[in-house]
Structure 1
Amino acid sequence: MSQIATSTTTTFSEIAGKVTEGSRIGRDEARWLWSNASDEELRSLAAMVRGRFHAPATCTYMVMRIINYTNVCVAQCDYCAFYKLPSQDGGYVLSQEDVFAKLDELLALGGDLAAFNGGFNPHLPLSYYCELFAAIRARYGDGLEFYALTIAEFMYLADHAKLSYSEAAARLKDAGVRWITGGGSEILTEEFRARHSKFKYTVAQYFEAQRAIVEAGLKTTATMVIGFDESLEERLEHLERTRQFQDETGGLASFLCWTFKPYFTQIGGIEITTAEYLRHLALCRIYLDNIPRIRTSVLTQNEQALGGLNYGADDFDLPIEDEVTQKAGATISLDFERILNYARELGYTPTYRHVSLGQPPWVEV
């Protein structure tokens, strides 16, 4: 007997009625929409939910850099083309001077946000991170913001330092950290993690760490990666867990979904189509009715990602570097105006969304 419950709502008009009146849809309705709704119908519902948070024909963007401070990692996820084991040649750790050079270049290109993403490096103590982040805060003040680590890295760091998640969050906060993002989530089901990242943390541990981050007064986000071998049910479980966490904490500032780049990875495979990605974005916007900002991924979809603005997204970033996805086949363009023009051609007015708290040094006053 199938474990999938049969929905009592089987028509688009019934689901649309719930969304129109502000009622929440469940997994059955989401499953029905994915399997039966047309692109136009998904766009219409996604636009309706988007309109509760953002004015029509508007969107925001950031210029940012993902700084891969180390490529040494013991997690051994089969979807990663980036990591080196501690015993392999080619491993590296960036010095503070290396990081500053990357941040200076980011500022010169008009960006004000950096995100740090590396791996589970057993040779890096907590002091490396605290000293680095404190030095960044001292050097750049509020004129630049940074996402310090992903949740997955934060968890490894806490365990490696023999600290509770709360204690680790407090130490990083004291070092000037304000954000720890939702990276490392991929697909939040235990089955997915058993298949592809058995040395990573469980879903329950992931949310335990994220709750500690929120309770410490730090900001965080939600992320999702699709296009592996995950089922529709696994995608829906991820969305359900994310929505429930937001109900309980209100701590998620945004949700970003991107697509798996399979090139040069152990798992391999073929990229999903942009059409599938856009449909999934719409489903995310409809389902995640308690997260204000839904972000589309220029990093993995290039200018095609701007089509996501018609599928419920309202925000995107223009990345200048991310070795992790570039190693797996992502390409990055610094022709920002060309990319922004795609948004304009779709009828949107893109506005820069500054993340830094202070006046960015490149803005004339």
Structure 2
Amino acid sequence: MAEASERRDAGWGRTMTYSRKVFIPLTNLCRSVCGYCVFAKNPGEPGAGYLSPDDVMAIARRGERLGCKEALFSLGERPELRHPEARGMLDRLGHASTIDYLVEMCGVILSDTSLVPHVNAGTLRADELRKLRPVSGSVGMMLENTSRRLLGKGMAHHACPDKVPLLRLRTLEEAGRQSVPTTSGILIGIGESWEERVETLVALAEIHDRYGTLQEVIVQNFRAKPGTRMAEAIEPDVEDMLRTLAVARLILPAEVSLQAPPNLNDAFERYIDTGINDWGGISPLTADHINPERAWPAISELERRCAGRGMQLAERLTTYPAYLRDSGRFIAPLPRAALRRHARADGWALNQAHQACAGAAR
């Protein structure tokens, strides 16, 4: 942990960052059946389906008023390939696929709001990434684990065609070929061994070494949820998270941001001692739809706990400063213009007071 912290300080200084986001769950239908998931619903369940364009814009507008800068689109993977009902919903929305609908909504967000889309759409083909790149500041996809063993019967990824490790690695590699700033990560405590955990981190490091597009890696701890196949599974404890985070910081290239979600452990300030430099997206409006039982900490609480560890809290954008500095390569014109309106000279986010004054002047 001490070595990992030194490595963090050398690369990132004594600053912890977060992104002020609004969470837009475009659809909770999915063709996979992960053993730990409560986000995905089946057709006919209360609340199952797609957000309408009006729903999307209502969430985005409320987020704008609260100072959000990132629109985090999260959605189930390719539900139309499993559920005829999803196909019917898409037909009524005027789209052939979930990804096509997502592209439209990202474009509307960019043109009609000040928010910058970040897209968590799971596995993506090359043509789909080419459609999303012009309307998003970054994409995200948790690798989770590279072990095919977890696809076996009774394991966390059984009956999950989009969790095949090769498909997820191909998505990260294609994002690299297209110079798309990307977020990925591992999910610990889902039945993997320590060796498999380390192999997954090494795979992420190798992708960044080849393409330079992995802007951040998340280490997320599994949380057991009632009603899932893994409801009785043992959750990783704090010590497990500390060990994994420190190992991640030592394996990953120094310029890759290391993130841990602060809402999944009450003693999250201890993570700072492992070399992390980022808390991820924090929303003042919407819940963590993946872990709805775990509320986000207040920004003031994050700031207080960071200060207790000798760290300063700063707001960032969905795209990190290094990619903004070389924005001609990494960011398409529309999201680039939106990001520049939000960014300070050093690439971190303008503070809210500055933005409020700018908005009043406009």
Q: Which interval holds the TM-score relative to the shorter structure? A: 0.7 to 0.9
Match of 1:199 in 2: 160
Per the alignment, in what secondary structure is the counterpart of residue 62 of structure 1? Answer: strand
Residue ranges of structure 1 left out of the alignment (5+ in a row) = 1-42, 156-164
Deviating more after overlay: 186-195 vs 84-93: 84-93
Structure 1 residue 364 corresponds to structure 2 residue 324: no
Structure 1 residue 242 corresponds to structure 2 residue 199: no
Over residues 231-286 of structure 1, what are the superposed CA-to-partner deviations in whole Å (9 max), with x where a residue is unaligned? 11111111111111111111100111111111122212232222221221111101
1:312 corresponds to which of 259, 264, 275: 275
Q: Deviation of residue 342 (structure 1)? A: 0.8
Over residues 173-223 of structure 1, what are the superposed CA-to-partner deviations in whole Å (9 max), with x where a residue is unaligned? 34x12322123x222221123322232332122111222222223221221
1:221 corresponds to which of 183, 192, 202: 183
The answer on whether the counterparts of 2:116 and 2:136 sit within 8 Å (CA) in structure 1 is: no
2:34 corresponds to which of 72, 77, 97: 77
Change (3 A) 1:305 1:150: farther
Match of 2:108 in 1: 135
Match of 1:52 in 2: 10
Q: Output the CA distance in 2 between the equivalents of 1:178 and 1:289.
A: 22
The answer on whether the counterparts of 1:70 and 1:93 sit within 8 Å (CA) in structure 2 is: yes
Q: Output the CA distance in 1 between the equivalents of 2:169 and 2:255.
A: 16
Rg (Cα) greater in structure: 1
1:177 corresponds to which of 128, 132, 136: 136
Q: Output the CA distance in 1 between the equivalents of 2:25 and 2:147.
A: 26
Match of 1:115 in 2: 72
Deviating beyond 6 angstroms after TM superposition, the runs of 4 or more aligned structure 1 residues are none
Per the alignment, in what secondary structure is the counterpart of residue 188 of structure 1? Answer: coil
The answer on whether the counterparts of 1:80 and 1:324 sit within 8 Å (CA) in structure 2 is: no
Q: Deviation of residue 339 (structure 1)? A: 2.6
Q: Output the CA distance in 2 between the equivalents of 1:363 and 1:293.
A: 29
Over residues 277-310 of structure 1, what are the superposed CA-to-partner deviations in whole Å (9 max), with x where a residue is unaligned? 12211111011135431112113225x2232121
For 1:49, give the aligned amino acid: R
Q: Output the CA distance in 2 between the equivalents of 1:179 and 1:353.
A: 13
Match of 2:289 in 1: 324
Per the alignment, in what secondary structure is the counterpart of residue 117 of structure 1? Answer: strand
Over residues 67-94 of structure 1, what are the superposed CA-to-partner deviations in whole Å (9 max), with x where a residue is unaligned? 2111111201111122112354541211
Q: Deviation of residue 138 (structure 1)? A: 0.9
Change (3 A) 1:151 1:325: closer
RMSD of aligned alpha carbons: 2.1
Q: Output the CA distance in 1 between the equivalents of 2:38 and 2:4.
A: 34
Q: Output the CA distance in 1 between the equivalents of 2:186 and 2:310.
A: 27
Change (3 A) 1:290 1:59: closer
Match of 1:348 in 2: 311
Change (3 A) 1:255 1:80: same
Deviating more after overlay: 280-289 vs 122-131: 122-131
Over residues 292-350 of structure 1, what are the superposed CA-to-partner deviations in whole Å (9 max), with x where a residue is unaligned? 31112113225x223212110011132343453334x32234x3212321111111111
| Percent identity for Structure 1 against Structure 2 | 20
The answer on whether the counterparts of 2:8 and 2:254 sit within 8 Å (CA) in structure 1 is: no
Match of 2:333 in 1: none
The answer on whether the counterparts of 2:140 and 2:183 sit within 8 Å (CA) in structure 1 is: yes
Q: Output the CA distance in 1 between the equivalents of 2:238 and 2:274.
A: 12
For 1:349, give the aligned amino acid: Q
For 1:179, give the aligned amino acid: S
The answer on whether the counterparts of 1:246 and 1:290 sit within 8 Å (CA) in structure 2 is: no
The answer on whether the counterparts of 1:252 and 1:291 sit within 8 Å (CA) in structure 2 is: no
For 1:308, give the aligned amino acid: Y
Q: Output the CA distance in 2 between the equivalents of 1:273 and 1:127.
A: 40
Q: Output the CA distance in 1 between the equivalents of 2:72 and 2:213.
A: 18
Q: Output the CA distance in 1 between the equivalents of 2:308 and 2:10.
A: 23
Q: Output the CA distance in 1 between the equivalents of 2:317 and 2:45.
A: 39
Per the alignment, in what secondary structure is the counterpart of residue 186 of structure 2? Answer: strand
For 1:307, give the aligned amino acid: R
Q: Output the CA distance in 2 between the equivalents of 1:307 and 1:150.
A: 31
Residue ranges of structure 2 left out of the alignment (5+ in a row) = 81-85, 91-96, 319-337, 343-351
Q: Deviation of residue 363 (structure 1)? A: 4.1
Q: What pairs up with 1:16-165 in 2 under 5 angstroms?
A: 43-55=1-13, 57-86=14-43, 88-120=45-77, 121-122=79-80, 123=86, 124=90, 125=97, 126-140=99-113, 143-152=114-123, 155=124, 165=125
Q: Deviation of residue 139 (structure 1)? A: 0.8
Q: Output the CA distance in 1 between the equivalents of 2:289 and 2:16.
A: 27
Change (3 A) 1:49 1:87: same
Change (3 A) 1:100 1:299: farther
